[in-house]
Amino acid sequence: MKNKKLNLQTKKVGIGLLAGVLVPGAAWACACGCGVFDVGGSSMLPAGEGGMAYLNYDYQDQNQNWSDSSRAPAENNNDKEIRTHFVTLGLQYMFNRRWGVQAELPFANRYFKTLDDAGDLVSRHWNALGDLRIEGIYTGFAADLSSGLTFGLKLPTGSYDRDADVVDRDTEIGSGSTDILLGGFHRGNLTADEKWDWFAQAKLDLPVLTKGDYRPGFEADAAAGIDYKGISFGRLRISPLAQVIISERTSDYGAAADSANSGYTRILLSPGIEFHFHPVKVYADVELPVFQHVTGNQIVAPALFKLNVSYMF
């Protein structure tokens, strides 16, 4: 009975997917931190057999120049603004209580403003598919599915050479690389009435095959938090949550990379809320930085906003 309750409650947590955080990169491209979208909340933690289709929307406006651990003069960076709308279509399906699969395909609308080689202010605005992510899921460590592993690949389906005379590789929507994805998660109850839960996740993104003499940095992302399931109005369940997200990324390298101005460490706090009216869930949160250290000069966003809609079947 306890396992059944845990499974039902986990389904109520919702689809706080792809927990995007502000990325202090010279460009917030998928080559610069998209992996962090996959940590945060307990949305990706399977609760039993069956499927879940979801649509995720993220928005951020990178318009502040940073160097080391503080804001820096805008004139120290040729890049002035990167404004991006991400829409990701995803599907997760558990074949049984041990094995499942997940696929995510992002689409991005990006505005980029920078100084060209002549010192003139120029801009580009374009739409493109991002890099497809396909992962397997294993949850056979415990009968209640409280622990699991994820493993898979990020494929170079996104464009990485759009307006290459103006747009740098780390500002492209696709990375041009094939990456190995590895992750793990665990969750548990904090109180005997099972209204308070805790969760933790970690993911690694390791580029292994690259193109155009550009190799994105290795990335590690982790999230931990708590959620509360004690609010309900009839069939409507409301679950507020709070989480901390930590990211580490090494500098890019290669002839097409800007190694001196890439790589970061950051810590963010993210409050969120989910509304669950089975089989539909709606989730929203905001990610706010409390610490960030960047290599060189990089433009960052002061916050990132996210909205998820999912359907369980």
Note the pLDDT tens digit of each residue in 108-167. 999 999 999 889 999 999 999 999 999 999 999 988 889 999 999 999 999 999 999 999
- 92 or 13, which is more confident: 92
Q: What local confidence, expressed as pLDDT, does residue 28 receive?
A: 33
For residue 142, the model assigns a pLDDT of 87
The amino acid present at 225, given as its one-letter code, is G
Structural domain that includes position 116: 2-312
What is the domain-level CATH number for residue 151?
A: 2.40.128.130
Mean pLDDT of 206-218: 96
Domain count, the chain: 1
Which tokens is 208 given?
A: 């292994």
More confident residue, 139 or 32: 139
Q: Are 31 and 160 in contact (CB under 8 A)?
A: yes
User: For the segment 267-284, what is each residue's pLDDT rounded down to a tens digit?
Assistant: 999 999 999 999 999 999
Can you tell me the mean pLDDT for 252-266? 95
Residues in Cβ contact with 145 at an 8 Å cutoff, skipping those fewer than 6 apart: 6, 7, 10, 45, 46, 47, 48, 97, 139
Q: How far apart are CA 27 and CA 129, in angstroms?
A: 17
Worst-scoring range by mean pLDDT, 16-30, 58-72, 249-263? 16-30
Angle made by CA atoms 111, 261, 113, in degrees to the nearest 5: 20
Residue 50: count of CB within 10 angstroms of its CB: 15
Q: Concatenated DSSP letters for 143-199?
A: TT--EEEEEEEE---S---TTTTTS-GGGSSS---EEEEEEEEEEEESSTTS-EEEE
Of 80, 84, 79, residue with least CA distance to 110: 84
